[in-house]
Amino acid sequence: MKPHITLLTLGVDDLERAVAFYRDGLGFPTQGIVGKEFENGAVAFFQLHAGLKLALWPRKSMAADSGLAVGARGSLEFSLAHNVATEQEVDAVMQQASRAGATIVKAARKTFYGGYAGYFQDPDGHLWEVAFNPGFESLG
């Protein structure tokens, strides 16, 4: 098997609020919420770089589909990272997220690895790192 991730799905409490955050606040492209006609089918997809997609799906729908009970939210199970080419871009993305309604949990600052990074949480508590890593190849 070749490891290849094509879709990341985030469970959300309020789908419309989450779509507004990612679409209107962060500028992620989407066709909006689809699948409303199906029980537990409402979902929104966002096209990311290199064919990767982000999906937002209500937590209750994810629970119904998987057979797992809805549990307490936790922000430390994983984080998403948005790597950019400069420290100034880190600051710009962090400001954009804040204006969109994100909670800044760690302001951007120099890192132990020689980079520059900060963290925010989206309205559902998902943790995002915004980072400039001088060890990464070109992000263009």
Task: Return the structure tokens found at 88.
Answer: 């100034």
Q: What residue type is 138 in one-letter code? A: S
Q: Are 108 and 63 in contact (CB under 8 A)?
A: no
Task: Return the structure tokens found at 19.
Answer: 């779509």
Record the pTM: 0.85
Q: Are 94 and 103 in contact (CB under 8 A)?
A: no
Q: Are 45 and 58 in contact (CB under 8 A)?
A: no
Q: Would you write out the chain's pLDDT as a tens digit for each of its 140 residues? A: 677 788 999 999 999 999 999 999 999 999 999 999 999 999 999 999 888 999 999 999 999 988 889 988 888 878 899 999 999 999 999 999 999 999 999 999 999 889 999 999 999 999 999 999 998 765 55
Beta strands in 48-113 (DSSP E): 53-58, 79-84, 103-110
Query: 13: buried, middle or exposed (CB in 10 Å: 19+, 13-18, 0-12)?
Result: middle
Q: What gap in Å lies between CA 68 and CA 23, rounded to an integer? A: 29
Hey, what's the torsion of the CAs at 95, 101, 103, 106, to 10 degrees?
A: -10
Q: Are 101 and 21 in contact (CB under 8 A)?
A: yes
Domains of the chain and any CATH numbers: 7-66 (3.10.180.10), 79-132 (3.10.180.10)
Q: What gap in Å lies between CA 25 and CA 89, rounded to an integer? A: 16
